[in-house]
Structure 1
Amino acid sequence: MKREFRYSETKDVSETYITPTDVKQYVFCPRVTYFTRVMHLKPIMGSQQEAGRQSHNNVAALERRRKRPLKSELPFIVREREFEKSLESERLGVRGRIDLLLVTDLGEMIPVEIKMMTSHRGQVLFDHKYQLVLLGLLIEDTYGCIVRRGIVHYLNDEKTVIVPFTASLKRRTEKIVNRIREMLHTESMPEPRRECRGHPIGCGFADRCRE
């Protein structure tokens, strides 16, 4: 029996703002961003994916109560922390929300993404890295500072991964933003990721991709 896809409430294709989630999805597979932003479809999530999403929605409140968002010892002193910080960059045409923004005693600003999942053998997942870098670029444009690193904290295995932000990584992230914007303009369906051609893996658009 064929599964039916739900349509997203956002149906204005002229909406040009791009989000860090768009970038994360595009790096995972460009078609995911196409289905969500151009066709305005919602993925069909399995029970594990749904549980993960609901858990993520409760993370900020949970961590706020715990007063200590990261169990791992960090190589700097945290002076301030702010949860669910919304930012926007007109230069990039990007808006997004940071799970946790840290400010060190030296004034360094560090974005933190909290993931209700397991790390990749103690390392950051590829798509999460680019999502995090875009959050760093949002901070740079908003506060006029340089963001040199970010953090992804994986709750399932309590791994805190510090990601250095190199100039080349920032440039690649901006190129991805431009590719997404071009896709929104042309409405052309991109190729799927090579690993799942014919066999989409862990994707809520698997049935749609096979059509």
Structure 2
Amino acid sequence: MILVSHIRQFVFCPRILYFYTFCDIKPVYPEYVSSGSQYHNKQNELFKNRKFIKFKLPIIKAYSNLYLQDSSMQGVADLVLECQNEIIVAEFKNQNKPILNKGTKMQLIAYSKLASKHFNKPFFKIMLICSNNLKFKIFDINSDDLAQFNSTIDKINKMLNQELFPQSCASIAACMQCEFKNYCDDRE
């Protein structure tokens, strides 16, 4: 079963998922991981009193840290907004502007697929929320995004089934922030 958080990591660099899955290594996490955890904890505390009115969406109910699972994936979504005719999954990011990268998009599509099954409602959008005053941006999901997601899942399953050490597509800058950089022979 694929952890949804591993989808984002796989897009960043497929070797991260390989190291987590097949190697008995205790990674040393960069400092930003700790600050991100603190940010998420604060958002969870603030969630109790939020109404999300500024989103201007027909929200029926908001769910924080919702565990979602099907036969192939599992994970905990930061925020799921159940609206009248759709669900919208949101991710809290400890950044100044809601900038969506490919890994986060794939992660949010995975949560959206799981939430869609859970609530029996379609999804058409995903959302990034950043800063404590809920700066946000809603992104539409199209058929190309879904095809890219399916391709990513196929690549993950192929790597997991074949247990082959994957090529790295990461940049040197990405490698410098990786928790497994000391175990990967491609960078100095």
TM-score band, normalised by shorter chain: 0.7 to 0.9
Q: Which residue of 2 aligns with 1:44?
A: 28
Q: Which residue of 1 aligns with 2:178?
A: 203
> Following the alignment from structure 1 to structure 2, what is the Cα–Cα distance between the partners of residues 200 and 60?
29
Structure 1 ranges of 4+ moved more than 4 A: none
2:67 maps to 1:86? yes
TM-score by length of 2: 0.86
Partner secondary structure for residue 176 of structure 2: coil
Structure 1 residues without counterparts, runs of 5 or longer: 1-16
2:16 maps to 1:32? yes
Partner secondary structure for residue 184 of structure 2: helix
Percent sequence identity over aligned pairs:
21
2:144 maps to 1:161? no
Determine which of 171, 189, 211 is the counterpart of 2:165.
189
Q: What amino acid sits opposite 2:86 in the alignment?
A: E
Aligned residues: 186
| 1:99-118 paired onto structure 2 within 5 Å | 99-104=78-83, 106-118=84-96
Determine which of 102, 106, 125 is the counterpart of 2:101.
125
Q: Which residue of 2 aligns with 1:4?
A: none
> Following the alignment from structure 1 to structure 2, what is the Cα–Cα distance between the partners of residues 150 and 188?
32
Q: Which residue of 2 aligns with 1:22?
A: 6
Cα deviations by residue, 1:32-70 (Å, 9 ceiling, x for unpaired):
1111122243421123322323432x14532223324x5
TM-score by length of 1: 0.77
Deviation at 1:158, TM superposition (A): 4.9
> Following the alignment from structure 1 to structure 2, what is the Cα–Cα distance between the partners of residues 40 and 117?
31
Structure 2 residues without counterparts, runs of 5 or longer: none
> Following the alignment from structure 1 to structure 2, what is the Cα–Cα distance between the partners of residues 40 and 174?
29
